[in-house]
């Protein structure tokens, strides 16, 4: 399978479909591209769908150097994938950590974003104290993975679909990519100037308030709540999820 070489770090990617707008889907922490199989099947006939494994995840490389894991490097990986696909602009979308990174990408490269879709995610924290609590949780996850290996992973639906070679990359990704350094992303919400869909599962209680906040801060954002769905809304209610996504995409102005 192909890998994108990012300064010696191999990034696994797949491009499905041969024509239409480019859609980049980014997975959640400790998941992989496989969580998007239902969306690939639904969209590949009309879109070029790019899915990938973040560094430290799935079939991508797990560099031993902690400095090879960061928000900035992840945003750079996303840009390199668009470059590889020859996409000047793309629809940028992601779930959980993938949604946060999609916001980070939009803040860094707004000229590359045609539209934005944020699923079961949050924009980070304005207050240092709240960010410190989040980062402490990320450190605890890393410590558990280092101590227990892949047995430390939870059994959520998006994680059960995944295959990782070992836990080393996930532990370093928790420290370098899940943890957050600043409030740059949350402060960028009112600068988002593209059509945006903010979607959440009705039972994803940890992200309901964040969804409301993003929908209020991003000008003109469309909000969708998927009933009887948790954190992996695309897996819990695939038909309703795909319907919401396709309705949003159908409303986008022609490229």
pLDDT of residue 16: 98
pLDDT value for 1: 76
102, 177, 202, 212 from 173: Cα distances, Å: 16, 5, 28, 27
Can you give the pLDDT at residue 126? 95
Model pLDDT, residue 122:
97
Q: Give CA–CA dist 188/186, Å, rounded.
A: 5
Taking the alpha carbons of 43, 99, 26, 57 in that order, is the dihedral positive or negative? negative
Domain spans of the chain, in order of start: 3-250
CA 3/CA 53 separation, integer angstroms: 10
pLDDT in tens, the chain (255 residues): 789 999 999 999 999 999 999 999 999 999 999 999 999 999 999 999 999 999 999 999 999 999 999 999 999 999 999 999 999 999 999 999 999 999 999 999 999 999 999 999 999 999 999 999 999 999 999 999 999 999 998 877 787 778 999 999 999 999 999 999 999 999 999 999 999 999 999 999 999 999 999 999 999 999 999 999 999 999 999 999 999 999 999 999 887
Closest CA to 208 of 133, 127, 120, 124: 120
In CATH, which superfamily holds the domain spanning 3-250? Answer: Alpha/Beta hydrolase fold, catalytic domain (3.40.50.1820)
Instruction: Give me the pLDDT at residue 2, please.
Output: 82
pLDDT of res. 91? 98
Token readout for 171 is 């532990």
CA 93 – CA 103 distance, rounded (Å): 9
Answer for the pair 93, 69: CB distance below 8 angstroms, yes or no: no
* Whole-structure pTM value: 0.96
pLDDT of residue 154: 80
Q: Give the separation between CA 253 and CA 50, rounded to whole angstroms.
A: 21
Contacts of 158 (CB under 8 A, 6+ apart): 27, 28, 31, 35, 95, 96, 231, 232, 235
d(CA 236, CA 30): 18
């Amino acid at each position: 399978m192909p890998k994108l070489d990012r300064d010696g770090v191999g990034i696994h990617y797949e491009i499905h479909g041969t024509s239409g707008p480019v859609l980049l889907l980014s997975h959640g922490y400790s998941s992989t591209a496989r969580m998007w199989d239902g969306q690939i099947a639904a969209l590949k006939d009309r879109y070029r769908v790019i899915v990938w494994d973040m560094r430290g995840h799935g079939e991508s490389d797990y560099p031993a150097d902690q400095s090879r894991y960061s928000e900035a490097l992840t945003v750079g990986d996303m840009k390199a994938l668009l470059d590889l696909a020859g996409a000047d602009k793309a629809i940028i979308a992601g779930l959980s950590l993938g949604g946060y990174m999609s916001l980070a990408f939009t803040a860094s490269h707004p000229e590359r974003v045609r539209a934005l879709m944020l699923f079961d995610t949050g924009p980070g924290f304005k207050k240092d104290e709240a960010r410190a609590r989040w980062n402490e949780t990320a450190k605890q996850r890393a410590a558990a993975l280092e101590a227990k290996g892949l047995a430390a992973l939870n059994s959520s639906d998006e994680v059960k679909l995944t295959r990782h070679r070992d836990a080393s990359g996930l532990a370093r990704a928790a420290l370098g990519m899940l943890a957050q350094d600043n409030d740059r992303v949350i402060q960028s919400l009112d600068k988002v100037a593209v059509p945006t869909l903010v979607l959440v599962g009705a039972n994803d209680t940890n992200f309901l308030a964040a969804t409301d906040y993003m929908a209020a801060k991003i000008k003109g954002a469309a909000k969708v709540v998927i009933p009887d769905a948790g954190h992996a809304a695309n897996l819990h209610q695939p038909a309703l999820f795909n319907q919401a996504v396709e309705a949003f995409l159908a409303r986008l102005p022609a490229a």
